[in-house]
Amino acid sequence: MKGVPVGMEHVENMTWGAADWLKRLWPLLALAGVAALVVSMGWHHYLSLEQLAANHESLRTLMHDHYVLALAAFTLLYAVIVALSIPGGVVLTIAGGFLFGWLIGGALSVLGATIGATAIFLVARGALRDVLIAKAGPKLQRFAEGFREDALSYLLFLRLVPVFPFWLINLAPGLLGVSFGTYVLATFIGIIPGTFAFALAGAGLDSVIDAQQASYESCLAKAGEAGHDSCMFAIDPSALLTTNVIAAVVALGVVALIPVVAKKLSRRTI
């Protein structure tokens, strides 16, 4: 069958029962179930800069007392958050820079994010890829083939310039048949600039916390008892990045697409 990878023809002709679907989907369902539990319990609210600011002294004490364990726990937590597709990666990256310094914190964040993203990729590929490819129409098959042909450039662009949610970029390549090596390499390289930018911001978070704390206390002093309702202690993650840093990351994303554009232009001129 044209457009369908070798060995997929049998998938198209199979009748799938509940047991077959459960066998394929249980890893994806398990991740979705754990993510739903975390959200329903409100545990994801702890992944905020406000929580980091409120507990920064105890976190640093814990880190200094159990440094190696803290490194491992941070990397594992990051991988789990990414694998569960729970928002909080940016806050964790900032926390890594704040607690461990921009270099170590950034490196741990890249490692944890790559592990978590790879887990999602493998789960999606094992659960649905064969079925989707076999059932896909000609247009979707041609799109998947084109994406795979220049997968490294496309994935680098998507990682560098977050035009789509991180969880979607983790899932889609597994469904489109991107190779494991290409996916891991593009993920690892592509998230480095943005990750280290936020880790650098986290390394300088002390001054931001002090400024916000002073502003919050000033607001409370002026507002009196009503201040607890009207005064807010809040830190915006996006405010920690400068326009120049964002522009530089976008520029890197555009550069990643140059090979794709050059290839398409060369085909037209032949």
Predicted confidence band at 172 (pLDDT cuts at 50, 70, 90)?
Answer: confident
Q: Let me know if 136 is exposed, middle or buried by CB neighbors in 10 A (0-12, 13-18, 19+).
A: middle
> What's this model's pTM, rounded to 2 decimal places?
0.77
| Orientation angle between helical segments 56-65 and 89-100, nearest 10 degrees | 60
| pLDDT single digits (tens) 14-68 | 555 666 666 777 778 888 899 899 989 888 888 888 788 888 889 989 998 999 9
Closest-CA residue to 172 (of 152, 144, 195, 198): 144
| pLDDT single digits (tens) 129-163 | 666 665 655 666 676 777 888 888 888 888 887 77
